[in-house]
Each structure stands twice: as C-alpha cells, then as structure tokens.
Amino acid sequence: MQVAPNRVSRRSVLKGALIGGVVVPLLAACSGGSTATPTTVPAAAAGGATAAPTPASAAASSSSAATPTTAAASNAAPAAQGASSGAKVQIRAHMVKKSDVSDWIAQGLKANIDGFNDKHPNLTITLETIPGWTPEYIPKILSMVSAGQIGDSVWYPPRHRSAIAWGVRYNVVRDLNPLAKAVNYDMNQFFPGALDASTWQGKTYWMDYIGEPVVPLIAYNKTAVSKMGAAEPQDTWTFDELTTWAKSLTKDGTFGYYRADAGDDSFGSAPYYRQFGVDFVDNTGKKSTILDNREGLVAALKYRYDLVNTWKVSPSPAAGTINVTELLGSQKLIAGDVWPFRIQGYPAAFKDFEWGFVLTPTVKSGDKRRSMLNEHVFGITQASKNPDDAFTFLTWICGKEMNVQGIVQGAKGSIARQDFWQDQRIYDKFPTYKKLQPVMQNIEADYFVGNFRGEEFDQAFAQAYDVMELGKAQPDATVDQINKLVQAVLDKDPA
C-alpha cells in the first residue's frame, strides 16, 4: 500500500498498536518476507500436549523463512468432521507463515486437539507456508496452480468477497457443498453471514477459519477514567454521549478517544458507516451506492472530522504519524475503537492499568446494531486428488474445539460457528466476548466489490478520507470525491 506523506493509514496505525495480543490478520495489503523452503516439524505423540504458541506482535507476522511444516495427523472423524477415505494420504495445505494461521494449526496437530491424530491415523498433514502476506502468497499460489504443483487446501483473507474470484475466475478452489453432502456435514453450523460471504451462485467455495465482527468495540483505560472522575462508558451509548465523555477526558495533552483500529478506509470502518445507514455498493458489486444515502455519509464523516478538527478529542495526522501504542502506554489516549483480539491483547500488553471494553455506540438510542464480518478462510483445490480427506482436515481446523482452544490459549481469533459462541469456556476466560455473542448471531457479510478489487476500493476511499481528516476538505465535498474514486475502481476490469 502506498502511504502519502503525513497519511496515517490503517496499516501504520495497526503497526503502532499491535503488541502483546493474538494477531488476527487484517490487511490484505500488508507485505513481508521472502519465499521459503520446506522445513519439517515432527508431530507430538498422539494425545501429547505441548505449550501454547507465544502470541506474535506484528500484524503481517513472521519474517522467518520456514515453509512446509509437516506434522503427522491422524484418525477417524467425529460426526462434526468429514470422513476420510482410510487410505494412507498426504494432505498439502498452503498458507501464510503466521502465528494465528500456520503456527496454531501446527500446534493443534502436535497437541492432538479434539483427538484428530487418533481419529485419522491414515493422514499426514503438510503445512506449506509462505512468509509475508498476500503480495507474496497470492502470486506463489497462482503460479503453483498454473504449473500443476498446487496441493489440496489453500488459505485466503477475503476483502469485500475477493476470495470468490479464486473459485469463479481462477478455478483454484472447488465447491464444498458436494463434499459436505457426501458425509452429511452440516454447513449451517456457520452463521448465515459467513456462508453468504463464501457462496456464489449456489456454490460455497470456502470454510470460515477466523470469523469475527469488524471493529465492534471501544477499549478504554478504566484506571485513568476513574482517576479523572469520569463515568464508565456504557454499551447503550450513542455517539453524542461518547462525544461528551471524550471531551471530559481531553485535557493536559491527553486525548479522550480515537478511531484507532477502525482506520481510514472502508473496511475497518464499514460497520461505523452502516450505523449511519450507509452501504457502499449495490448487489452486483458494480455500482457505488454512496450517493443513495448521501446525508448519512456526510453525517458520519462530519462526526469523524469534528473529533479531530473541531472538538480535538482525537489526535490529528497533521502533527505526524500517530503511534497508538505510545499514546496508550503513556496514558495519553484514554479510549479507541478496537478489533476483538484486543480483548486478550491489551490487558497482556499494558499491565500498569486496567482495561474495559464497551460496544461501539449507535446514532440514536435503540438503533439496530450494525456489523460486518472479517474472515480468514480455507478451501479445497480443484487439483486435489484427495478432496474427501482434505475436507476432513478442513472440518477439523474450522471445527469448534480447535477454535475454542485457539481463543482460550490466546492463539487466534474467533470463528463464525454457532456452537463456538455457545461454549462457556470462552466467557469464563474472557467475559467481554459475551458482548459480541449477539453481534455474531446477526453478523452481516462483507459487501461485494464485483471486480474483486477490494483492496483498491479501500485505498480509493482512504485517499479522499485522509484529506478530510487533515482538515483540508469538508465532509460534504469529501462524499463526492469518495464516490468518484470508488466508482472508478468498480469500473475496472476484473482483477
């Protein structure tokens, strides 16, 4: 992603703020590492437990050159998983080298979570990892497909349903529905929003591995709020109430509130704009609908503009790069919008004070709470010679126990499964997740950029937004500029 001078991109903000917590991949534009060569890690004895992986501290994760991590997996599946063929089979799964993706899956194999090794002794799982992020990963996968070297399963971090292109345009992955039907696997274990995001013209190309609401919370420094004599924020607050509260906390070089993880683009902030009644594209993904609710977007942008330029309760990018970590650690920032993994990460990273979390406000009291789904997904390749066995692997990594353990061990984010969100172990460990349970029950799918240029769409939105937040454009004119820029992206040929 190109970052203009003084621009505080979502990527740079997160680089400053990511410490100590589980790393949930957020940006398909993050770059990193070089190509890797295979290394082999033997699986632990079946049933043997190993220590949980140490959470990483950077969003685009590892720069180490480790690729195929090979672990002997095993065993015959429970009803919730797929049924393997019984023959000796190697399943090759391709993914980025990342703490909450490859590292956690390798850890799950070693620890024999949910008895996978015992149930499938015929399977050997090879995790072929690529350091870096999508600029390294996607060309590598497409070149392997072209050369006939691709394995059985692939990972993808969708952005505005860009993952559908791999099933529809590039024929990398296949429809999972026939595989699920063959073993009576209930795809409706996943929330409708997750199924909608992975389905196109009746074919479901992907299975949810990380599924969470996009930036649904405000994290705040409970200790500082108490010392400053302010009230605790409430889940029922409106944006006006947040403003009053933030003003009371903004003094002596301390900022009361910042958009933080919500970012400057149309992904992390999408639920915020939906709260004002704004959606960005029509059902075809080809036409901007920004002007259909112009008044709502003007209001949403004006609120963000005023936070920085009128009320001055938020830091301004005009002063230079905003280092969220430094501001939080020095207690010069009291509150900010956050991703769910901060529930685990912030208390571990900042031990000098106590953290609290509340739901993002609504425009009016009692308004329906809007949302959007952020995902990492896995699919099965068209080239796989063992799709049934690959489906068994998929149903394990995307299964309830693997993901409950991922949360309670602090290794990954949540998943968009009904049974996962009904498991009390999550709430016993991290009570704040209970606030997100009703949000996930009604999670809305990411919107659709029809030519699969979702990252370009976000960058176009941010280009106009950043000028406004710097105080160099007014919200009304910014709406027209955003509409012009994003429609230009939508008019391009498919990626």
Which amino acid appears at position 10 of this protein?
A: R
The helix or strand, by DSSP H or E, that contains position 393, with its residue range, turns out to be helix 387-397
Calpha distance 316→319 (Å, rounded) = 6
Q: Which CATH class is domain 31-213+375-433?
A: alpha beta
Contacts of 399 (CB under 8 A, 6+ apart): 80, 81, 114, 417
SS3 (DSSP) at 70: strand
Q: pLDDT tens digits, residue range 329-366?
A: 999 999 999 999 999 999 999 999 999 999 999 999 99
User: Are domains 1-27+215-370+451-495 and 31-213+375-433 of this chain identical in fold?
Assistant: yes
Task: Report DSSP letters for 50-64, one per residue.
Answer: -PPPPPPSSTT---S
Residue of 375 and 30 predicted with greater confidence: 375
The conformation of residue 445, written as its DSSP 8-state character, comes to P
Q: For residue range 252-273, list pLDDT tens digits in order.
A: 999 999 999 999 999 999 999 9
pLDDT of res. 85:
62
Q: Which CATH number fits domain 1-27+215-370+451-495: 3.40.50.300, 3.40.50.10140, 3.40.80.10, 3.40.190.10?
A: 3.40.190.10
Q: Tell me the pLDDT band of 84, cut-offs 50, 70 and 90.
A: low
- Say what percent of the chain tops pLDDT 70: 83
Q: What is the pLDDT of residues 424-448, one digit of tens each?
A: 999 999 999 999 999 999 999 999 9
Between helices 454-469 and 475-490, what is the axis angle to 10°?
160
Residue 439's identity, in one-letter code, is V
Task: Kindly tell me if the per-residue pLDDT of 78 is higher than 90.
Answer: no
Q: d(Cα 211, Cα 408) in Å, to the nearest integer? A: 16
The pLDDT assigned to 206 comes to: 98
Report the pLDDT value the prediction gives residue 26, as an integer from 0 to 100.
Answer: 30
What's the whole-model pTM score?
0.82
Give the tens place of pLDDT for each residue, 276-317: 999 999 999 999 999 999 999 999 999 999 999 999 999 999
Q: What's the DSSP call for residue 210?
A: E
Beta carbons within 8 Å of 259's beta carbon, 6+ residues apart: 269, 304, 307, 314, 336, 337
Sequence spans of domains, the chain: 1-27+215-370+451-495, 31-213+375-433
Identify the pLDDT of residue 9: 35
pLDDT(124) > 90? yes
Query: Closest Cα to residue 262, out of 254, 253, 274, 251?
Result: 274
Contact status, residue 255 vs residue 332, Cβ threshold 8 Å:
yes
**How big, in percent rounded to 5, are the helix, strand and coil portions of the chain?**
40, 15, 45
| pLDDT top residue among 208 and 1 | 208
pLDDT in tens, 386-407: 999 999 999 999 999 999 999 9
